[in-house]
Amino acid sequence: MVLSVRSLSALALLATCSFGCASSNTTARAPEPTPERTAKAPPVEKADADASAADKEEKAAASEGEDDPRADGLRKPSRPPNDLITGPNLVYMFNFKESAVGQQARERCQADFGDSPREMAACMEKARGKVPVESVRFLKDKSGQHWWVTYNRYKGNLLKWHKVMYRPGEESDDKITLNLLGKDEGIAPMAKVPRALLVELPNDYTIVLNDPTLGAMTYDAKIGTMED
């Protein structure tokens, strides 16, 4: 079959149009966004800033704790000593184990009966019975007079062992001197009343009295209902 030049030109033009049109109508599309591609990157700078601020606060708190007198769990007295010890219904119970006489007794009993818990306990109880004090109070009566009163158990009864009037003396943040006045009005009066009594307050809940014979005696604060 013989085609004319015009026919060949028409066929070539048709082929070129088909190829070119297909190429021009096909547009390259960007890939559809996926969750991984659309997720925003974390604010690194802000996170670093927050972490840095937190570190600074933690270090500041730690440095304050080193100088804080309450870091060991014992709070320093929050009020003047005379206000604390004369609180209403406040009784200071003798802590035998934490006192010098109790620690000395424990060493002796441990040396003699350390292998027997029962005998060890009996030894400590016997040593405790030799200390004639159960509790102490610092009272202020209606007339404004201050009294130092110690209590001891005798035949099941709690009695006022010593009762001495005092006048509040020199005072600091954690101790006060009581100037003792007059005679001992308790049922077991001291032959000679000392001129003064030093009361130390390690915190709001503890006092320490220094006995000339028994040494440092520790007392724990309790709220009671004893009559003034």
Angle in degrees, CA 148, 91, 101, rounded to 5: 80
Class of domain 81-95+134-221: mainly beta
Domain ranges of the chain: 81-95+134-221, 97-130
Q: Tokens for 97?
A: 């184990």
Task: Give per-residue burial for 47-65: e unless 16+ CB within 10 Å, then b.
Answer: eeeeeeeeeeeeeeeeeee
pLDDT in 10s for each residue of the chain, 228 residues? 444 444 444 444 444 444 444 444 444 454 555 544 444 555 545 445 454 554 555 554 444 444 444 334 455 667 889 989 998 889 999 999 999 999 999 999 999 998 899 999 999 999 999 998 999 999 998 899 999 999 998 888 889 999 999 999 999 999 999 999 999 999 999 989 999 999 999 999 999 999 878 899 999 999 876 665
Residue spans of alpha helices (H) in the chain: 5-25, 35-38, 44-67, 81-85, 100-113, 117-129
